[in-house]
Amino acid sequence: MCLALPARVVELVDMDHAIVDLGGVRKRISIALVPEVRVGDYVIVHVGYAIGMLDADEAEATLKLFAEMSS
């Protein structure tokens, strides 16, 4: 139910709407909850709304954490 996917913003349509690309699928969504978003950003999309933004540096840091081995 809380299913949401990271998608890349490819076009800003107006104040409240953007087109995102999700693995090749393009969709018009509402960005009313993340008005600061810019083209190229990744947003988390849920029921047609971007509910938050994805921090690329933090994603990188988390992937590095997975690769660490317990001593």
Partner 1 sequence: MKYVDEFRDGALARRIGDNIATEVDPSRDYSFMEFCGGHTHAIARYGVADLLPPNLRMIHGPGCPVCVLPIGRVDMALRLALDRGVMLCTYGDVMRVPASDGLSLIRAKALGADIRMVYSPLDALKLAGANPGRDVVFFAIGFETTTPPTALAIRQAERDGLENFSVLCSHVLTPAAITHILESPEVHDFRTVPIDGFVGPAHVSIVIGSRPYEGFAATYRKPVVIAGFEPLDVMQAILMLVRQVNDGRAEVENEFTRAVTRDGNARAQAMTADVLEVRETFEWRGLGQVPASALMIRERYAAFDAEKRFELNYRAVADHKQCECGAILRGVKRPTECKLFGNVCTPDTPMGSCMVSSEGACAAHYSYGRFRDIPVVAA
Q: Which is nearer to partner 1, 12 or 54 (CB)?
A: 54
- Closest contact distance (angstroms) between CB of 7 and partner 1 is 8
- Check: CB of residue 66 under 8 Å from CB of residue 48: no
Q: Which residues bind partner 1 (CB under 8 A)?
A: 1-6, 8, 22-23, 30, 32-35, 42, 44, 46-49, 51-56, 58-59, 61-63, 65-70
- Closest contact distance (angstroms) between CB of 32 and partner 1 is 6
Q: Which is nearer to partner 1, 6 or 12 (CB)?
A: 6
What's the per-residue H, E or C state across 20-57? EEECCEEEEEECCCCCCCCCCCEEEEECCEEEEECCHH
